[in-house]
Structure 1
Amino acid sequence: MILRNKLGRQFVVTVELDPPRGPDPSATLEEARSLRGLVDAVNVSDSPMANLRMNSVTAAHLIRRETGLEAIAHLTCRDRNVLALQSELLGAQALGVGSVLCLYGDPPSRGDHPEARGVFEVDTDGLIRLVAGLNAGRSCAGRDLGSATAFNIGVALNPCAADLERERERLHAKVAAGGTFAQTQPVFSAADVERFLEATGPLPIPVLFGVLPVRSVKMAQNVGRWAKVPEALLKDLEARGLEAGLAWAARLVSDLRALGVDGVHLYPLGKSAAVGRVLEAARV
């Protein structure tokens, strides 16, 4: 069963992978193979943190072809104008990449090519509308394409945002633009998700909540710069290190499943072996 048909019907697990730094995809493919039978799909990021990586659509196609895993290609507004974005999407459809996650993208100044210029010709909502237009068989210039794409259109959410009313508004704007499912930034407690659900009310699309297995106190402190890491997790990491982080992630997956959410999106940050351990402990 393809991801589109699983969402909203069963508890879905996706995992984020970074594409290779160079032209050899073998390490990324091996990482993807290790996830077969464990997850429903893998995400392939688009030059994350504005650092050079293999094209996400190419990597997603190779993963699908070589491992049989469905792959969600990230697509950002950063590097392409509307002509290039549409061209990329038409190629993705031809290569069998059926799902894309629409993102704004980190500015080039953050990455390994700080002299590069960001494009940002459209914002995230504009990118979502662009994909939805291709799904309707027309270009953003209004030209009939002769046939339509059939993308499952992913959007991003932050359940721990300071302004949850604003996040609710952003969710509905992204759905109005054409979003069909969402994946979120990492959460670290079921209480965070409950607050988010209370603020948003009934979710208009399936949402997969992010889970990040923290491996050390140092990693937790770095994550704490942009997310709320519970004090209890920090103390447990001080005492037990990696095992504490994996156990916390497994409990969180179990708690979220008990809440009745649509699924989870795991961020192993290059340590895909952690995925199996977390899901086994969570009995998923």
Structure 2
Amino acid sequence: MHDRRFELICEVEPPTRPDLTRVRHQIGVLSPVADSFLIPDNHIGRATVSSVAVAHEVQAMGARGIACLNSRDRNLLGFRRDLLTAAAYGVDRFLFVYGDKPTAGGRTSELTVRTMVEEARAAVEEPTFGGCGPFQVGVTSGLRALPTWKTTADFVFVQVSYSLENLLRWRESVSLDVPVYAGVMVLASANMARNLAAKIPDIAIPDQLVADVERDRDAGVTAACEQVLAIRDSGAFDGVHLVPVSRYRQVAARLERDL
């Protein structure tokens, strides 16, 4: 890890209705501990308010936003529209992802994450973008070998893991000179644990943690906050991508005390 300040990037739950009240509340509650906010795109396959628009709202509240864009729901024209909108709003940080399986319909995209990275890099050289500064683009990685093209990204988000040892082992196996953020997610319920295990087959959730959460809902908050601190103290990562889900109030209170 380079000599950079440890960053906490908190993911917000994007609105599925035309109302930003809850997003604003999340940002206000988490702002004392968060350095930036990640806004998902059509979260878990459901339509949500544009991540670019919400990132603009985050910035209007004095915080830093990262707009997530998935390749699943876009063709090239739609992607260029999003880049133009972002440039107009002053949003310049993106996380490009493949996208969760949609709840209805199928993929419509002609894009891949790699194509999105290449297009975003090339776009700002075009007169259409009027000399806007370069976009910062990030990608995601599982706990496995990183394709060469992903090493050209400006930052990397690593898959959520409940094992510090697995995260450290992966970090030692890759050579990256850009910020790398480890994924931490609050486990809110035993049912959530089962859903995660089904959705992400290579995620390992300790049985003891599931049992603890079943007895005490705050156990998931405690475990996630302890994981954030352990990752920070390891010195192996530049920060954490924290997914507090609905427990953001409890997470903010705990981290404000401990960070």
TM-score normalised to structure 1 length = 0.82
Amino acid at match of 1:218: N
**Alignment match, 2:233:** 258
Specify the SS of the correspondent of 2:191: helix
**Alignment match, 1:3:** none
Shift of 1:62: 1.6
- Highest relative contact order (Cα 8 Å, sep 6+), 1 or 2? 2
Change (3 A) 1:236 1:270: closer
Q: What residue ranges of structure 1 are gaps of 5+ in the alignment?
A: 1-6
Task: For 1:198 and 1:25, locate their aligned partners in 2 and report how far apart those are by CA, in whole Å.
Answer: 40
Specify the SS of the correspondent of 1:24: coil
Shift of 1:27: 1.6
Q: What residue ranges of structure 2 are gaps of 5+ in the alignment?
A: none
Do the aligned partners of 2:72 and 2:98 also contact (CA within 8 Å) in 1? yes
**Alignment match, 1:97:** 91
**Alignment match, 1:17:** 12
Shift of 1:234: 2.6
Identity %: 29
**Alignment match, 1:191:** 165
Task: For 1:196 and 1:269, locate their aligned partners in 2 and report how far apart those are by CA, in whole Å.
Answer: 25
Task: For 1:197 and 1:211, locate their aligned partners in 2 and report how far apart those are by CA, in whole Å.
Answer: 15
Task: For 2:135 and 2:71, locate their aligned partners in 1 and report how far apart those are by CA, in whole Å.
Answer: 17
Task: For 1:146 and 1:265, locate their aligned partners in 2 and report how far apart those are by CA, in whole Å.
Answer: 32
Q: Deviations over 1:80-120 (max 9, x none)?
A: 21122112112102202121111111243xx1xx23x5222
Amino acid at match of 2:227: L
Structure 1 position 68 matched with structure 2 position 52: no
Do the aligned partners of 1:213 and 1:274 also contact (CA within 8 Å) in 2? no
Do the aligned partners of 2:221 and 2:247 also contact (CA within 8 Å) in 1? no
What are the residue-to-residue correspondences of 1:22-61 with 2, within 5 Å?
A: 22-61=17-56
Task: For 1:145 and 1:215, locate their aligned partners in 2 and report how far apart those are by CA, in whole Å.
Answer: 43
Do the aligned partners of 2:84 and 2:129 also contact (CA within 8 Å) in 1? no
Higher mean alpha-carbon deviation, 9-18 vs 144-153, is at 144-153
Work out the number of aligned pairs and report it: 254
Q: Which segments of structure 1 move beyond 3 Å, counting only runs of 4 or more?
A: 143-146
Do the aligned partners of 2:87 and 2:132 also contact (CA within 8 Å) in 1? no
Shift of 1:280: 3.6
What are the residue-to-residue correspondences of 1:82-231 with 2, within 5 Å?
A: 82-108=76-102, 111=103, 114-115=104-105, 117-135=106-124, 137-138=125-126, 145-159=129-143, 164=144, 167-168=145-146, 170=147, 172-176=148-152, 179-200=153-174, 202-225=175-198, 226=200, 227-231=203-207
Shift of 1:149: 3.7
Q: Deviations over 1:42-64 (max 9, x none)?
A: 11111112201111111111222
Do the aligned partners of 1:14 and 1:264 also contact (CA within 8 Å) in 2? yes
Amino acid at match of 1:236: D
Shift of 1:216: 2.5
Change (3 A) 1:43 1:145: closer
Amino acid at match of 2:134: A
